[in-house]
Amino acid sequence: MEIKSLIRPNILKLSPYSSARNEFTGDAAIFLDANESPYETGLNRYPDPLQHDVKKLLAARKEVPENRIFLGNGSDEAIDLVYRVFCVPGRDNVVAPAPTYGMYEVCAEINDVEYRRVPLTADFQLDLSGMKAAVDDRTKVLWLCSPNNPTGNLLSASDIEELLQWFGGIVVIDEAYIDFSMQRSWMARIGEYPRLIVLQTLSKAWGLASVRLGMAFAHETVIRYFNHVKYPYNINLLTQRQALTALAQEEATRARVEEILSERARLVTALPSFDFIRKIYPSDANFLLVKVDDADRTYDYLTRRGIIVRNRNRVQLCSGCLRITVGTPDENRTLLSALESFNKQL
Ligand SMILES: *Cc1c(COP(=O)(O)O)cnc(C)c1O
């Protein structure tokens, strides 16, 4: 199916806001076009609405053309745009496995789009026939998160491939945790699958959760409509500068990822020595999903010791589970000694 036939009719015919900085390209000495303050504060000018410098660096690093990159105020902006660009409120639906990242469902509700959840299998893989059965002629989007949050595992590449070939709508693969896994990004497949959208973020491995920068990689037609719908200056100048700095220092990120992976391995080795640990699920991310005897009690104990983990006890297929982010070596030591005390007093 052609991309344009999937786009909401009102978005297809939208004439987007054209900012002063959009219309002028070239060299100028005096800017009297945008009602900005003329006095130099370092921040008195509007930022580049299409973030050309950041995209240029990303394009080189990720080997993808600039016109296949969208930058958002976190990946959360891209998630919301998927609904706003493709899904007619009160009519269309989306299909996603469960459990997965909660924002897909929240954004569906905000946009009045039906959200259809299909439970993952017992080993947290896609139930392909269940997913296919949930799709009908009003299904616009399949949400896939790999490595998945909160389960931590990669989804099977051949299952994803099967859905990409089978489904006629948009397939989103959220790769927020890809930098912690050995899996190659699906980004490389956009030429082959023009209805594929790949999401990545600077919030996790890159250590920049507070700057809010998410990336969507997709066919240039998808990116064009994302740009039509987004707020004109969605990425502020400070964020653009931070992103440029971080992307120029890729080695620092890689070193931190290595340390997190070795700390993750240390936790996987240490945790089973406690009697109350039932299971540690395999992780391709910077967190572990851990099944314990009494999740609420363990969570409360850790909280009283000032250690906050994520209680996933009430999440589908995750009863008894805590999701624990891998911290610094010191933080992990403190966590392990708290768990040891908890174990002793049981
Ligand atoms: C953390 C996370 C994100 C990141 O969202 P940002 O808005 O970029 O901070 C996206 N997807 C998943 C699955 C996540 O866990």
Q: Which ligand 1 atom lies nearest to the CA of residue 100?
A: 13
Confidence (pLDDT) at 27? 80
Q: Name the nearest CA neighbour of 313 among 335, 345, 289.
A: 289
Closest C-alpha to ligand 1, atom 14 = 176
Q: For residue 29, name the pLDDT band (cuts at 50, 70, 90).
A: confident
Ligand 1 centre distance from Cα of residue 162 (Å): 25
Residue carrying the six token digits 């089973």: 272
- pLDDT(115) > 70: yes
Residues in contact with ligand 1 by the CB-under-6-Å rule are 74-76, 101, 145, 149, 174, 176, 201, 203-204, 209, 214
Residue 253 in contact with residue 180, Cβ under 8 Å?
Answer: no
- pLDDT(24) > 80: no
Q: Which ligand 1 atom lies nearest to the CA of residue 214?
A: 8
Residue carrying the six token digits 């120029």: 248
- pLDDT(180) > 90: yes
Output the CA angle 200-204-210, nearest 5 degrees. Answer: 100
Backbone angles phi, psi at 239, to 5 degrees: -65, -45
Ligand 1 centre distance from Cα of residue 287 (Å): 13
Tokens at residue 208, please? 């920049």
Closest C-alpha to ligand 1, atom 11 = 176
Confidence (pLDDT) at 308? 98
* DSSP-derived secondary structure for 188-246: GGTTT-TTEEEEEESSSTTS-GGG--EEEEE-HHHHHHHHHHS-TT-S-HHHHHHHHHH
pLDDT (tens digit, 9 = 90+) per residue, 203-255?
999 999 999 999 999 999 999 999 999 999 999 999 999 999 999 999 999 99
**What's the sign of the alpha-carbon dihedral 10, 23, 44, 215?**
positive
Q: For residue 88, name the pLDDT band (cuts at 50, 70, 90).
A: very high
Q: Region 31-57: what's the mean pLDDT? A: 95
Range with the poorest average pLDDT among 18-32, 155-169, 224-238, 272-286: 18-32
Residue carrying the six token digits 């990720």: 62
Closest C-alpha to ligand 1, atom 15 = 149
Helix runs in the chain, H state only: 9-12, 20-23, 52-62, 75-86, 103-110, 128-134, 157-166, 220-229, 237-248, 250-270, 295-304, 329-344
pTM above threshold 0.95:
yes
What is the bridge-based pairing of β-strands 170-174 and 139-145?
parallel
